[in-house]
Amino acid sequence: MQTEHRLEPRWLKPLLLGTTLLFLAIFLALPLGVVFSEALAKGWKVYWASITEPDAIAAIKLTLLVVLITVPLNTVFGVATAWLIAKFEFRGKGLLITLIDLPFAVSPVIAGLIFVLLFGSQGWFGAWLSEHDIRIVFATPGIILATLFITSPFVAREIIPLMQEQGKDEEESALTLGASGWQTFWKVTLPNIKWGLLYGVILSNARAMGEFGAVAVVSGHIRGMTTTMPLHVEILYGEYLFTAAFAVASLLTLLALVTLVLKSFIEWRIGKKRLLAH
Amino acid sequence: MKSLKSNLFGIAIAVLALVAPFIHAADISLLNVSYDPTREFYKEYNQAFAKHWKELKGDNVTVRQSHGGSGSQARSVIDGLDADVVTLALAYDVDAIAQKAHAIDTNWQKRFTHNSAPYTSTIVFLVRKGNPKGIKDWDDLVKSDVKVITPNPKTSGGARWNHLAAWGYALEKYGSEDKAREFVTKIYANVPVLDSGARGATNTFVQRGLGDVLLAWENEAILSINELGRDKFEIIVPSVSILAEPSVSIVDKNVEKKGTKEVATAYLQYLYSKEGQRIAAKNYYRPTDPEIAKETAANFPKLKLFTIDAVFNGWGEAQKKHFADGGEFDKIFASIKR
């Protein structure tokens, strides 16, 4: 039995707990409740119709396409950069780490504008692109590029500290024992980082689905073609179709909740692994 | 290898067989880049036009829509948004596409009747039910206890009409440019937020409950009353307002590239037809066709309307003097301490 040595007064803990719970209730539970109650305000039939009408389906498909392309690319990019940073020494490493963080520091709207300035018809590559009939901004490629830019740091940021902490002893041993570089990666490096990697993938997935600002700038707002789910929600809201807006919003919210559950599960796994290791 | 070849051949035949029935009935897709409050109108009009074109030519036309603040929409077309037609809030935004991107013939206003403005509108006030602040005319907007909602004239076409309507009113009533500037400055001093488009401003007023009066397109005001309840808002028609002429044009550069010039032109021309005019009137735009105007006169309050040509010498000059960098709006905005 442990005795609690408390310096703080007795009422502090319940007070802090109460404040936190109240805060969570007002800023999390209440808005979440509103989303679902508004979405179902006119019943399941209207809800179902709202998420299955052609423009909504197109928005869901586009969002999934964007996720399917950006998340794997960012995973490969993240692992490669993290490996480079954690296991090798070279000049300018600090600068590279700063550059990886850049998308976190840049406002999403600016991120979108960068691509308009590069690939818009008045932009640097505009004339060449239009000559060759290639569409980037105001089309799917632009949306994918903007999302890639925004979500690129997530995976790398998650696994760099993990890899640095582990050092390179295990890999070196594997190599000494005759494993090839590829074998070392699959059998030693990857198992060590897999939970952190998954965590990064989930975060980047959530952001890719929910990104609004950068995508809004490059989208062109063509209904049923270049509107992702968050943009579609905004359009519906602007057209006084509140139930439909909240129905699509509830899908995004559900995705967020699933992400949250997965995230907690992974954190629990990582915690357990750390306990076992010590 | 042989089997792969014959497989490919088989697939090609199958694809041809699937496509063949549609070769005669072409599927045409147009993109209409428009401003904020026309969403409901074009949704209905697009279906009517698709039906008309199917009967006339047998082709299927799908018209895609894109909406936003008129200025930002024009900017997107300049930056390469693939519009076949633009239906914007004012002539200047079409001019901008013609001048900055050379994507539209500079002669565009002459290509359709009424300076390529198939329907018109005006600026009215939307107030809360019972009109608690007693707002009757433009003079009530400068009172210090009245909060006015209007979008940002830098990005919104409707906001530019609002600005010019107030200016034109003051110019006539008080007789000088200085007095008009003073009057409009007082109105902007009463504005708590500037949204980027007309629909955003409407939502700020009706959804977020900010402000005592919304300066709005007539069609936007009537629509929000019908959508959100007569028991919550009412429309106040000022003594004088501006005749707003939203402009339409085909985007030459894009239709030539896509080969859609004929259908895009027909799409805009059909706005002037009896059916097009009736749909416009049904969505609270004032029709230009005299017969339909007479038919629907009861829906539109009568008020004195001045034109931009008469008071401001056209959009070119109005834009330069009022909304260009360092223009009247910038000066007014800088003078208001926030």
Q: Measure the CA–CA gap between B307 and A56, rounded to whole angstroms.
A: 41
Contacts of residue B98, defined as CB under 8 A and 6 or more positions apart, other chains included, come to B104, B105, B106, B108
Nearest Cα to Cα of residue B238 among B123, B130, B140, B137? B137
Indicate if the pLDDT at residue A152 is higher than 60. yes
A222 CB-contact burial (10 Å; exposed 0-12 / middle 13-18 / buried 19+): buried
* Lowest-confidence segment of A157-171, B47-61, B256-270, B314-328 by average pLDDT: A157-171
The per-residue pLDDT for B11 is: 55
Cβ-Cβ contacts under 8 Å between A and B: the total is 56
Q: Which of B64, B199, B203 sits opposite A225 (nearest CB)?
A: B64
State the nearest Cα–Cα gap between A32 and chain B, in angstroms.
19
The per-residue pLDDT for B12 is: 55
Give the pLDDT mean for A101-105.
Answer: 90
**CA distances from residue B116 to B92, B105, B131, B269, B283 in whole angstroms, order as listed:** 12, 13, 37, 9, 19
Using the Cβ of B37 and the Cβ atoms of chain A, whether some distance falls under 8 Å is answered with no
Using the Cβ of B40 and the Cβ atoms of chain A, whether some distance falls under 8 Å is answered with yes
DSSP string, A61-119: HHHHHHHHHHHHHHHHHHHHHHHHHHH---TTHHHHHHHHHHHHHS-HHHHHHHHHHHH
Q: Output the average pLDDT for chain B.
A: 90
Residues of chain A in contact with residue B37, where contact means CB-CB under 8 angstroms, are none
Contact A161, A200 (CB under 8 A): no
Chosen from A119, A125, A131, A222 to mutate, greatest number of chain B CBs within 10 A: A222
| Type and span of the H or E element at B241 | strand B240-244
Domains by residue range for chain B, with CATH: 2-117+245-272 (3.40.190.10), 120-244+302-336 (3.40.190.10)
**291-310 in B: which are within 8 Å (CB) of A?**
none
Residues of chain B in contact with residue A224, where contact means CB-CB under 8 angstroms, are 64
Give B235's strand partners. B126
Per-residue model confidence as pLDDT tens digits over A163-220: 888 878 888 888 888 888 888 888 888 888 888 898 899 989 999 999 999 999 999 9
Per-residue model confidence as pLDDT tens digits over A234-245: 999 888 888 999
- Using alpha carbons only, give the angle B68, A39, A235 rounded to the nearest 5 degrees: 5
Residues of chain A in contact with residue B251, where contact means CB-CB under 8 angstroms, are none
pTM: 0.83
Report helix, strand or coil for B259: coil
The per-residue pLDDT for B15 is: 53
B307, B167, B319, A110 alpha-carbon torsion, rounded to 10°: -130
Q: Measure the CA–CA gap between B89 and B41, rounded to whole angstroms.
A: 14
Give the pLDDT mean for B184-200.
Answer: 92
ipTM over 0.90: no
**CA distances from residue A131 to A128, A275, B81, B244 in whole angstroms, order as listed:** 5, 60, 15, 38
Report helix, strand or coil for B6: helix
Indicate if the pLDDT at residue B6 is higher than 60. no
The per-residue pLDDT for B10 is: 54
Chosen from A34, A121, A125, A135 to mutate, greatest number of chain B CBs within 10 A: A121
Residues of chain A in contact with residue B65, where contact means CB-CB under 8 angstroms, are 222-223
Structure confidence at residue B9 as a pLDDT band (50, 70, 90):
low
The encoded tokens of residue B205 equal 């007023």
The per-residue pLDDT for B228 is: 79
Structure confidence at residue B213 as a pLDDT band (50, 70, 90):
very high
Secondary structure letter of residue A6 according to DSSP: -
Contacts of residue B233, defined as CB under 8 A and 6 or more positions apart, other chains included, come to B126, B127, B128, B129, B206, B224, B225
Chosen from A130, A221, A232, A241 to mutate, greatest number of chain B CBs within 10 A: A221
Closest residue on chain A to B201 (Cα)? A238
DSSP string, B37-80: GGHHHHHHHHHHHHHHHHHHH--EEEEEEEEE-HHHHHHHHHTT
